[in-house]
């Protein structure tokens, strides 16, 4: 398999051709990005809901919760779009392997940490 088969290339007409592997890596990165986005949104919404559901919440607390929820959700969405653009740029440049490898290592480390925490919680009966 030649280097042209492994990376993004441009044909004589200037059209971009992507390898299947790069395309699959991009799709997986976007899938993980969307999963992370969903978790972050859920956390922000739960946090705001915990304040807005309080019966003794002041008007200031309610306004603050709604305002921060809006700004946090907007920031999370902007970050997701920026990251997606970066993935697309790297895929077109044929360098998506670099970021893919880094993210796989980071996700594996996070999963190991989470598994260790679950194991520790079971041992102490939590």
Query: Along the 126 residues of the chain, how does pLDDT read in single tens digits?
Result: 344 444 556 556 666 677 888 889 999 999 999 999 999 999 999 999 999 999 999 999 999 999 999 999 999 999 999 999 999 999 988 899 999 999 999 999 988 998 888 888 888 776
φ, ψ (nearest 5 deg) of residue 10: -115, 130
pTM for the full model? 0.72
Q: Sketch the domain layout of the chain as residue ranges.
A: 3-95
**What long-range pairs does 92-99 form, CB within 8 A, spacing at least 24?**
92/8, 92/16, 92/18, 93/8, 94/6, 94/7, 94/8, 94/9, 94/22, 95/7, 96/22, 96/25, 96/26, 96/29, 97/22, 97/25, 99/29
Residues 6+ apart with CB under 8 A from 67: none
Give the span between the Cα atoms of 87 and 23, in whole angstroms: 10
Q: Is 17 helix (H, G, I), strand (E, B) or coil?
A: strand
Residue 10 DSSP label = E
């Amino acid at each position: 398999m030649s280097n042209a088969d492994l990376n993004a290339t441009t044909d004589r007409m200037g059209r971009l051709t992507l390898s299947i592997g790069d395309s699959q890596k991009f799709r997986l990165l976007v899938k993980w990005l969307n999963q992370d986005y969903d978790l972050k949104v859920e956390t922000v919404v739960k946090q705001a809901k915990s304040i807005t559901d309080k019966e003794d919440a002041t008007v200031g607390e309610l306004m603050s919760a709604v305002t921060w929820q809006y700004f946090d959700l907007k920031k999370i969405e902007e970050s997701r779009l920026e990251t997606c653009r970066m993935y697309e740029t790297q895929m077109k440049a044929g360098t998506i392997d670099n970021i893919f490898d880094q993210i796989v290592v980071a996700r594996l480390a996070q999963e190991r940490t989470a598994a260790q925490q679950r194991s520790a919680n079971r041992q102490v009966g939590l």
